[in-house]
Structures are given as structure tokens and as C-alpha cells.
Amino acid sequence: MAVKIRLARHGKKGYAFYHVVAADSRAPRDGKFIEKLGTYNPNTNPATIDLDFEKALNWLLKGAQPTDTCRAILSYKGVLMKKHLLGGVAKGAFTETEAEARFNKWLESKNGRIEAKTNKLATDAKSAEKARLAAEAKVNEERAKAIAEKKAAAEAAAREAAEAAAAAEAPAEEATETAAE
């Protein structure tokens, strides 16, 4: 029986959520599987991966073949690196403690890159929010300025109309006074 480490799709339409499983290669994608190894949620940024490291490593050492996406996930979490180092220990290239030290060093650098990406995403979101608020404040100032100009123009027009009406009444009053005399 050929065993594959692959994804089983869950979640609703347009919002996929995956289980990482070890399954017979002849079984359907979302069908029968041998063991669940973890979950993968690509909807978050960065993607959320919850993987049982030891189970995945055990299946790889037994000869299970990961699919392309699962290979990327296992590489991201360091399972393939650990398998590679264990292969070096089996061949006598270095000791197990040296392999563990190399893996821990790699894992620290990987965690640092992940942390840097999350911090960058957070700062980018904050700066985008500030820029959006600044643009909104600018638009509000322009609107307030336009409204004030429109209001001033309306008041000026009302004053001119009042002055014109007063000027029209003054000659009419003079004409009535002269007519009365």
C-alpha cells in the first residue's frame, strides 16, 4: 500500500480549511485516511499550520510520499530538515547531538523570519490605517471649506438682494412723497 501525506479539504465554499493526513494513495481526497497529522489554514496571513511534528516525521521515515503542497508545509515546519539530518546521522556524517544543534539553529532562524514577517504585516496595517485616516481628514477639510464658501456666497447674495430691495424701496418712497406734495 502506497501511503501519501496529503491535504483533505474541509470548510465552506470559498473558505477552505485543510487537514494534513496520511492516507492510502488510492483513497479519495476527502475520504478514508490512516492518521490525521495536523491542520492547515491558508486563510490567515501568514498561514496557520498546526502539525504533529513527530507523527509527520515518523510517516516520512516509514516512506510516505508527501504531495507538493504538503512537501512545502513539511519543509516550512522543519520536518524535512529533521529527516535530512537524521539521514546524515544514519550515514555517520555527524552525531545525533550535532544534528539536533543544527536543527535548533535552523529553527531559531526560521522563527525569526516568521516573527519579522508578522511584525512587518502589523506595521504595514497600522501605517495604511494612518494614511487612510489622513486622507479622510483631508477630504473632510475640503468639504468643510467648500461648504463655508457656499455659505458665504449665499450670505453675500442675500445681502445684495436686501440692498437691491432697499434701493428699490427708497426711490418708490421718494416718488410717493413727491406725489403727496
Instruction: State the pLDDT at residue 180.
Output: 62
Instruction: State the pLDDT at residue 173.
Output: 63
| DSSP per-residue letters across the chain | --EEEEEEEEEETTEEEEEEEEEETTS-TTS--SEEEEEEETTSSSPEEEE-HHHHHHHHHHTPEEPHHHHHHHHHHTHHHHHHHHHHHHHTSS-HHHHHHHHHHHHHHHHHHHHHHHHHHHHHHHHHHHHHHHHHHHHHHHHHHHHHHHHHHHHHHHHHHHHHHHHHHHHHHHHHHHHH-
Q: Which residue, among 85, 101, 105, 82, has the nearest Cα to 93 in the 3D structure? A: 85
Instruction: State the pLDDT at residue 169.
Output: 76
Instruction: State the pLDDT at residue 164.
Output: 82
Q: Where are the domains of the chain?
A: 3-93
pTM of the model: 0.69
CATH numeric code, 3-93: 3.30.1320.10
Instruction: State the pLDDT at residue 85.
Output: 93
* pLDDT tens-digit map of 48-101: 999 999 999 999 999 999 999 999 999 999 999 999 999 999 998 888 999 999
Instruction: State the pLDDT at residue 46.
Output: 82
Per-residue pLDDT tens listing for the chain (181 residues):
799 999 999 999 999 999 999 999 898 888 899 999 999 999 988 889 999 999 999 999 999 999 999 999 999 999 999 999 999 999 988 889 999 999 999 999 999 998 998 899 999 999 999 999 999 999 999 999 999 999 998 888 888 888 888 887 766 666 666 666 6
